[in-house]
Amino acid sequence: MRSVKTALVVLAALAGLSIALPASAQDAPFTYGVWRNPKNSVHVEIKPCGGGRACGNVVWATDEAQADAKKGGTPNLVGLQLLRDFQLQKNGSWKGKVFVPDLNMTLTGTADFPNATTMKAKGCLIGSILCKSQTWRRVDSVTANAAS
């Protein structure tokens, strides 16, 4: 049960990050950058990855988050691309693929950005079942807020 909870947390976090990227920097430049999950255990850098898409790589993670990823079959969490091919949708949300290290699975996720420092992320394991939502916050630098 704990691994399912952890997986949902990671999924929601990753989903939120990946969707934060705009089709072009002019559309929503505040979505690019480094974002932290609610527990401040993972930081993901979101940036353009070609074709109007956005991707996100883990740039920092706590020892606990790294250990959880290893238990799921992912030996190196830092440097791993978690958010893949996110695209802006007609409704203003971002949608793409999210790799969940704890489950060793790629799933679908969405994200919305109500302001320059907040990302509302949602991820579901199967369709609209077993969903998790989280609020991510912008990080000024990769490790500036690691201890907070």
Report how far apart, in Å, the C-alpha atoms of 144 and of each of 41, 98, 109 are. Answer: 13, 25, 27
Give the confidence band of 139 by pLDDT, cuts at 50, 70, 90.
very high
Percent above pLDDT 90 for the chain: 36
Range of weakest confidence among 48-52, 88-92, 101-105, 139-143: 139-143
Give me the mean pLDDT over the 132-148 stretch.
69
| Residues 83-103 pLDDT 10s | 899 998 898 888 988 888 887
The two tokens of residue 50 are 């070609």
Using CA atoms, how far apart are residues 83 and 124, in angstroms rounded to an integer? 14
How many CB atoms neighbour CB 27 within 10 A?
11
Output 54 or 8, whichever has higher pLDDT: 54
Q: Which domains does the chain have, with CATH numbers?
A: 2-139 (2.40.128.520)
Provide the b/e sequence for 109-147 (b: ≥16 CB within 10 Å).
bbbbbeeeeebbbbbbbeeeeeebebebebbeeeeebee
**Treating both helix axes as pointing N-terminal to C-terminal, what angle do 2-18 and 63-71 enclose, rounded to 10 degrees?**
110
**Reported pTM:** 0.75
